[in-house]
Structure 1
Amino acid sequence: MSGVIVSMRRTLLSCTSLARSGLVGGALAALLPAAPAEAADLVDTLSIMLDFNRQELAVLATALALLGFSVVAAILLMRTRVRTAKNEARLRARIGELQLQADRFGALLFAEPQILISWPAGDNRAQISGDFSMVLPRDASPQRVLAFGTWLPPEPALQMDHAVDALRDRGDGFQLTLTTAHGHTLEAIGRAIGGQAIVRIRELSGLRRDLAETHLRYKALSDETEMLRGFAAAAPWPIWAKGENGALTYANPAYVRATEAHSVTDAQERKLELLDSADRTAMERGLKDAAHFNSRLPIVIGGERRIYDVRAVNVGSGSVGVAIDASEADALSSALVRMAEAHRRTLDQLSSGVAVFDGHRRLAFYNDSYRRLWDLDRSFLDANPDDSSVLDQLRAARKLPEQPDFRAWKAKLHEAYRAVETAKDTWFLPDGRALSVVTTPNPEGGVTYLFDDVTESLDLARRFDGLIRVQRETLDSLAEGVAVFGSNGKAQLFNPAFVRMWKLSSDAMRDEPHIQTVEGWCHQLFDDPVVWRQIREAITSIENRADVPLKLERKDGSVLDGMIRPLPDGATMLTFQDITDTENVERALRERNEALEAADQMKVDFVHHVSYELRSPLTTIIGFAHFLSDPSTGPLTPKQAEYLDYVTKSTNALLALTNNILDLATIDAGAMKLELGQVDVSKAIELAAEGIQDRLATDRIRLKVEIAPDVGSFIGDEKRVVQVLYNLLANAVGFSPQDSTVGISARRTERSVVFTVTDSGPGIPADMKDKVFNWFESRSQGSRHRGAGLGLSLVRSFVELHGGKVRVDSIVGRGTVVICDFPTDQAAHRDAAE
């Protein structure tokens, strides 16, 4: 500072032209009010030394003013720097104190293992600090702490998620005690502090951990107790608990109802008991001696005596008990005993020998037929011998079949004790008898043996088989088809000619089918119900048994000459002889002639009647119906309007059917002429689709139209082409299920325009493909719109009239595809036809 002033002084002394110093001193005094003493000395020197004129003083004053401003600025800058340095030193000291305080607080905060999570206001990023090894592996990212499901079981993790969301959204604090997936007990506390959401997670230890675990165990025990109390309250059986002194401490509603008390308190105060005194004494004795009691006792509840299974057990210093209604089980048990006794009495009256061995293989029951069959001593049987002892005694008396290895044979017989199904066998005894043996495992364990003497029946069967073999050889050598049916209607004999004639299976016929079954097999060749009823009645009738001649004309064109002949033993013999060769020629000529005449006459009569007797009245009815529906004829009641609408729809449908029949008759008679012209394919499809819009909407069916860009148009009768497409679409919609798709497409080939209509209906069986284009051939099965069966007939007729072809591709269950080819060159078609 002194250096600056000295320099200024030297400058002023060099200015010899300055005027009055009083003016300069006043200016300097104004400019340097706060300058130090050196500035005052400078002013005195100037006032003594200088004596300038006015003009020079003005210049000097300006220079001094500028110099004074520079000095003041320098002084202020120095003061600011000094003040800034002092403030910086003071702030640095304060920051050091705050850092020291923060370190001290951090040391205190993390003195125990814990995790702090904070979300600043308006910021979704969480700040996480603390000991993450409490819940995460050491190499895991701290952000994994927020994935609560990775270190908590599902239910606590969901609870933690909801608590954190509530804290961040609404500032709701929480305090939770959690158990991690590794079994550690943690405490999570959430608070909203200073505009931040803060969650503190720490591991509990010592007394706090014991209290938390005690709380969790208490909650689990409380929930379990509430669940058990709820079960006891909902149980239909009386349940009670008694203290050490025998007083009632708990009873469920069923116990209250059973004792006719008003409440549990009422039952306790009145000391109401479910059992009578004798049963209570027995229960107390059982609890005292064995710590439990089980018994089936009668109890009177609501004035009705019922049987209950009473069970009680000592628990702690008291006891608990339950009474389960066993009345139905007791009744069933008694009924089972009675049924078993009746069963035993019934078995004792049978001629077959019956022996019942229990689960321990000891004889539990035998009837007198069994004893007589084996000639066993009654005292031996009454001693309940085991199965092996009985067999050993019978073998010693040579009453069992001779066996090379008796031990193995007996072991195989005893497999019935472990079997689940009945086994049958025939024993040929040394004395010549033959026994039928049936071994049946019993449900409760053991086996029942059933013995029948079949010696005589086997002998008769052998002789009968000999006769049957003779008859078989005789029948097999016959050229005629022969079958013998018994009085029960089942086939007894047949020869190969009969099987071949009716295309039957020899194996199936050997199973002795009933005549109705055989009739069902033969329906594919002959299904006249009158003739088959005549055959069934002749076979099964008891009276008026006489020979009945038959002549059968079967579906395959063959003709059979048959005879129904009753036999002396009550059976009936059917014989058939093939006379097809002698009938075919005459029948073919006669049928062909009659068919041609009938067809011609039918066409003439049909066209005549439909044209004049049906179409004209229909037109009149339709006209009058439209006239009545016109408002100018007067108002109609709602019911009249409804009936008139029915009339209009029915007559329109009938007129359309009539027109179809006339078209078919006209085509068949060769009188149909096409009105040829340009047919716009897109327009034809559009017109056909308009006619089925109501059906599409009703059945919720989508129509998919695909027209090739180059299809253009072709020469044809537009009206008939539209009629063909409409009938195909109506048929496809009728057979398609609801919510499905019907498709129509058009494409152009080198010589034709091809229309394709597809549906997703049930398809056409193979045996129906050749019939779908016949007149009046209607497939009502699978269709919601039953028609007269003329639509596809018209389709084929109109397409063939154009010179085209119709093909049907169908798979049962996968829908049907109909393809129509219309030739583009009608001139070539007419030339070929001519």
Structure 2
Amino acid sequence: MELTPFAMVMVALLLAVWTAGAAWLAVAAANRAAQAEGSRKAARRMSRMIDESPAIPLLVRADGKLEGPDRLAGWLGLETMPHFLSELAGEDATENAVLPAEQARELAQAVRRAQKTAAPFRMVLNPKGSQRSLAVRGSLADPQVSPGGAALLWLFDFSESETELGRLREQADRARGDFGALVGLIEAAPMPMWFREPSGALRLVNRAYVEAVGGTDADAVVAAGTELVEPVKGEAAADIARQALQEARAIERTVSATINGQRRSLRVSDLPLGDEGIAGYAVDIEEMEEQSRAFRAFREAQRTMLDQLSIGVAQFDAERQIAFANQPFRRIFNISPGTVSTRIPFDRLLNEAREAGRLPEVRDFPEWRGEHLAWFASGETQEEAWPLPDGTHLRIVGQPMPDGGLVLIAEDRTEQLALSATRDTLLRTRTAIFDSLFEALAVFAPDGRLQLWNRSFTGTWGLESDALKGHPSAEDLLAALRPNLAKDKQADHIGEVIRAATLDRKETGGRLMLQDGRTLEYAGVPLPDGNGLLTVLDITDSQKAEDALRERNQALEQADQVKTRFLANMSYELRTPLTSIGGFAELLQSGVAGELSEQGVEYVDAIVKSVDRLTEQVENVLDLSQSQAGLLPIKKQQVELMPLLTRLVRERQDDISRGGLKLDLRGKPGVRIDADVRQLGRAVAHLLDNSITATGDGGKILVDLSKQEEGVRIVVSDNGAGMTDAELRRALDGRANAGDDSQRKGLGIPLSRQLVEAHGGTLDIQSEKGVGTAAIIHLP
């Protein structure tokens, strides 16, 4: 059969296709063989990796059959792997049951739940008789692994990890407990505490911090970043915390902050905690600061007070160095202020004081110094007397302090010893003076016991010298005095006087009579020391003199009464006849009895003038007598002096003209005083009459009135004959001067003085023979 070209082509194509297919099949077979070999190698490698892996798979089929490697049996403590889950779970009573019943039930339930719902689970298995801990992770197996709803379990042996985890869990639990306790402690702490991030921002704060800044809660305070401490010199609290973190050291500082509306002093500490952040806390030290300030103020006040004392005081600290010395101490021991500031030791201070001669002379100074160094540890107060070489006597007191220091007190008793010696001398002198007095003296204590008496006391009371040696009480003394008293009751009054002087501190006294007729005057005087002094004086002679004076005074009073009656009678007896004579003479002068001759008229005129003159003299005598007796009546009223002097001068104008005299009246009107117009006018009139009488023809008389600071002055002066001192004394006494009628005489000057003095003024008369006389009246 002949093939056509087309057929040949088709045959060729089929051969080509067949050849290509065969080649492809050969290549594909080779590839599959290679892949199969690679799969076998991968399977062996995977199997080896599973054997070496820390996890072992376990397949649980739907019927409970198990598929797993034999290595798992070793983990379970078995020689061979069980065939069913029931054997592993222990549901059958076989020897292969290794799981506790509780874990077995939990495992079975978890596997069935995974097979039915595909819910994964995790649990831990602890096989019996094994120390292993197996972690189980179960899930529904992939259909490619096992179709039919099998469960795939992966078991991990984490026995070592479990032990470590248990230990870590225990530590974590303990750490959580400690952390909770620490958090509770921090939260309950009374001081503000906080924790910052490394950036300085607040992360945690406690309740005290919240209350201190016035926040609502800790979260709000942290969110707001509210700082407890204000910035100091431009540095905020966060800046200080970052500085502590950078320098890896704690920073502590004292600042002021406002807490609950009050300014308080705080000691703030920032503590770096590695890379975690910075912890901080603030301790309120306001009370401590106040106590510190109070202590410093007390110490300064104490030292200021010690500086004011006259006793030297020095303080030494526990290191036996001088800490303070007041001015008297430095003066006593010649210590400079720099010595105290350098805080020299006690032994060195003793050395310097010894060199300055301010310590007593001792034979072994090192031993003496050691004995005084032991004062610091003695525990008891030490006291010594130090006589210094210059005669100074010091009383030294060493008082050990609880802190190991010493207070040294130095008192200069030199003056006290001198005063004591002086006091002893004074006491001996007082005793000698006390015994030498004529007055009887006795000193009683507040309890009434006789303390001291002089020699005159026993003799004055008529007691025996040995009666007072036992220092009897006041009651015993009064009992011994009663027999010598004229009246027994007077002894009780003496006791009251002693009691008033000692207890009531009052001064009382009295008089009494003794049996022998003597009169004693006694008085109780309280003494400054609390005792009482009984002073007794024998006034028998003075009493007799007093009685005599009393009788004489009574006689003088009777004589004064007689004088008063005499003046009254004389006033009546003298004035009545003069009035009658004057009246009859005036009747005769008026012609009632008929016409008189010229000689009769002259006689009557002479009688009238004589009566007037005698009346004036009687008035002067009576006024002078009354003035000397203090009976002159003075009726004061407001008087202007210039009109009064003018009237007195005009009344004597005829006498002035008849004598050819010149009278000059000077003074300012308006000068007023309180005076008796009649009596003051009579005083000036008498002086004016004396000047007119004593001044010859052509003489001058001056009457001057002037106002002065102490009162009023009236001057009546003339340039008459004047008087010698003897004549002036006679005129002041009221005796007439020798000479004719032109001389001053009579009672005018004494009466004027009495009238001026009755007004509270003075009269001063100055006279010189041949020059004149001046009478000066001073009135208040």
TM range (shorter): 0.3 to 0.5
- Give the TM-score normalised by structure 2: 0.36
- Give the TM-score normalised by structure 1: 0.34
Q: Which has the larger radius of gyration?
A: 2
